[in-house]
């Protein structure tokens, strides 16, 4: 039955003379609004995304920005068509006649499917590339190894290469421009080890050790480790300050904590 409908109304795309006007108008509004919103995004993204503390985080920020730009036309499509329809095609009160029956031509369905598939593949391929780029680095002798033990409700850190664990002050230091890898485990329940500005996070599982990707801090200054997996009473107090400092300051700190250089 509906098959007949599709054929019978295949001319549904070109009925009255008004259709091209509406479609043309809404397409223009769509394109213009997409461009405007993309420009607004490009101007405001620096205020929305926090500054990156590592190349990895920077790549993530770029990924987010690119994805947003790719999604803006999709979002505007829905917003513009919806708003246009609700404003232009609305009736006053109860309608007295039916709308024009429109059915999608196969061409429209296939092209829509094609465009969304291309967009989707773009997102997937970009994501895969970015991810493998970020995680494929191998440890070198230069890589700083930090063992993190999470428990309710504090992270404790150990620098096995220097034979020390950080003591006190809920603060650790990392040297700038030196790759670091965190090996994380938990003593009791699930915790989430997350360093926002470095762009890494991994769960701390009891009985297993998981690792973050190798990341290189590129900005001096303060940073934080936060727990991102609900772990009980003081989950939202579970944090540690990170100070990214120069190599000399870092070495001095290691010695002050009881490690050897």
Q: Report how far apart, in Å, the C-alpha atoms of 253 and of each of 74, 174, 222 are.
A: 51, 10, 15
146 DSSP β-pair partners: 182
- Listed in sequence order, the residues at least 6 apart from 245 whose beta carbon sits closer than 8 Å to its beta carbon are 173, 174, 175, 176, 220, 253
Backbone angles phi, psi at 68, to 5 degrees: -65, -45
245 binds other proteins (CB under 8 A): no
Which CB, 141 or 168, lies closer to other proteins? 168
**214: nearest Cα among 178, 252, 166, 251:** 178
Instruction: Select 87 or 141, whichever has its Cβ closest to other proteins.
Output: 87
Site for other proteins in 8-27 (CB under 8 A): 8-9, 11-12, 15-16, 19, 22
Q: Tell me whether residue 2 or residue 261 sits nearer to other proteins (CB atom).
A: 2
Site for other proteins in 122-161 (CB under 8 A): 123-124, 126-128, 130-131, 134, 149, 151-154, 156
Nearer to other proteins by C-beta: 20 or 32?
Answer: 20
Among 97, 136, 140, 142, binds other proteins (CB under 8 A): 97
- Which of 44, 46, 116, 256 is in the footprint of other proteins by CB under 8 A? 116
DSSP of 4-65: HHHHHTGGGGS-STHHHHHHHHHHHHHHHHHHHHHHHHHHHHHHHSPPPSBHHHHHHHHHHH
Task: Please report, as residue ranges, which positions from 25 to 44 form the binding site for other proteins (by CB under 8 A).
Answer: none
Closer by beta carbon to other proteins, 68 or else 251: 68
254 SS3 class? helix
The piece of 29-37, 136-144, 166-174, 246-254 that touches other proteins (CB under 8 A) is 166-174
Smallest distance from other proteins to CB 192, Å = 5
């Amino acid at each position: 039955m509906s098959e007949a409908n599709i054929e019978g109304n295949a001319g549904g795309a070109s009925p009255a003379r008004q259709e091209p006007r509406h479609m043309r108008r809404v397409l223009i509004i769509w394109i213009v609004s997409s461009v405007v919103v993309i420009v607004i995004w490009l101007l405001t993204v620096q205020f929305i995304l926090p500054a990156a503390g590592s190349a990895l985080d920077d790549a993530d920020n770029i990924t987010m920005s690119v994805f947003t730009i790719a999604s803006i036309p999709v979002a505007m499509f829905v917003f513009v068509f919806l708003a246009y329809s609700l404003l232009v095609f609305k009736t006053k009160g109860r309608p007295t006649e039916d709308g024009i029956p429109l059915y999608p031509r196969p061409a429209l369905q296939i092209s829509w499917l094609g465009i969304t598939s291309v967009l989707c593949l773009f997102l997937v391929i970009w994501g895969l590339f970015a991810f493998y780029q970020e995680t494929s680095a191998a440890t070198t002798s230069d890589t700083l190894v930090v063992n993190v033990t999470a428990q309710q409700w504090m992270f404790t850190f150990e620098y096995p290469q220097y034979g020390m664990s950080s003591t006190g002050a809920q603060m650790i230091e990392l040297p700038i421009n030196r790759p670091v890898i965190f090996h994380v485990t938990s003593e009791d329940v699930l915790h989430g080890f997350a360093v926002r500005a470095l762009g890494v996070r991994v769960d701390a599982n009891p009985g297993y050790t998981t690792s973050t990707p190798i990341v290189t801090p590129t900005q001096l200054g303060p940073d934080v480790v936060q727990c991102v997996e609900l772990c009980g009473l003081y989950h939202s107090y579970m944090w540690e300050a990170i100070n990214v400092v120069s190599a000399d300051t870092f070495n001095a700190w290691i010695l002050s904590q009881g490690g050897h250089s």
